[in-house]
Amino acid sequence: MGMLCRPSLLLLLFTSLFISFGFAEIRLADISSDDRPIIPVDEFRFGHTGRLELNVSRVTLSNKDPDLDLSKAGFLLCTPDAWMYVLQQLVFGEVTCALDSDLVNVVYDFRSLEGKLSFDTVFRVNDAERYTLVFVNCLDQVNVSMTVRSEMYNLEGKENRSAVETILPGVCFLSPLIYFTLAGIWIYILYKILLTVSRS
C-alpha cells in the first residue's frame, strides 16, 4: 500500500510541476542602447486571473535632459488584434504614441520613475487573451538601456496546483483497493499455473 502510494505521489508532483511551468512565462532581457521605437519583450496567454510582474533595473536614457517628456516611454500590454488598430491610429495620426492609445494597457510609463533607475510593478489582467508585452519609446533620438525581468502567470494555475494536492489523500485511499485487485489477479494467475503444472 505504501509502495503504491509513493508512485502516485511522484506522479502528482510531476503534474503539479508541469502545471506551474505551463502557467508561467519568465523572461530576462538586457536592452542596451536601443533606439527601436517598439521592442516586444514577451507574450503570454492569460486567463481571467492573470498577473504580470515587471522588474526593471539600470534604466539609462542617452538623453539626460530633465525636460524630456517621459510619458512617451514605457511598457504596455496589447493583444495582436488590438495592435492592428493601434497601428492604424498611428498611421491616421489619431495618436502620436502607442502609449496614448485607449486600446492598450499601459503597465508603466517612465514618468513614474521620478529619477529612480529601477522599478517593480504588478499588473492584473482579467481578459483571457494572448497579450504581448511591449516596450515603447516615442522619444526622438533617445536610446534606452535597461535590464528587464518579466513574469507572466495565471493565478488559476496556482489554484489548480492546490486542487491537485487536495486530490492526493483520495488517491492514497484508492491505492489499497488497486493493490488488493492486483494481488487477487496475481493469485488467480498463480493458481491457474499451478493447476496446469499439476495436471501435466
Ligand X SMILES: *[C@@H]1O[C@H](CO)[C@@H](O)[C@H](O)[C@H]1NC(C)=O
Nearer to ligand X, 33 or 181 (CB): 33
Interface residue list for ligand X (CB under 6 A)? 33, 35, 53, 55, 62, 120-122, 143, 149
Shortest distance in whole angstroms from residue 122 CB to ligand X: 5
Nearer to ligand X, 85 or 119 (CB): 119
Shortest distance in whole angstroms from residue 120 CB to ligand X: 3
* Grid coordinates belonging to 165: 494536492
Nearer to ligand X, 15 or 143 (CB): 143
Shortest distance in whole angstroms from residue 26 CB to ligand X: 9
Nearer to ligand X, 27 or 149 (CB): 149
Using only the alpha carbons of the chain, give its radius of gyration.
Answer: 28
Nearer to ligand X, 40 or 80 (CB): 40
String of DSSP letters for the chain:
-HHHHHHHHHHHHHHHHHHHHHTEEEEEEEEEEE--SEEEEEEEE--TTEEEEEEEEEEEES---TT--GGGEEEEEE-HHHHHHHHHHHHTTS-SSGGG-TTSEEEEEGGGGTT-S-EEEEEEE-S-SEEEEEEEE-STT--EEEEEEEEEEEHHHHHHHHHHHHHHHHHHHHHHHHHHHHHHHHHHHHHHHHHHHHH-
Shortest distance in whole angstroms from residue 160 CB to ligand X: 21
Shortest distance in whole angstroms from residue 107 CB to ligand X: 12
Beta strands 130-137 and 73-78, pairing class: antiparallel
Q: Which residue is nearest to ligand X (CB)?
A: 120
Nearer to ligand X, 33 or 96 (CB): 33
Shortest distance in whole angstroms from residue 124 CB to ligand X: 12
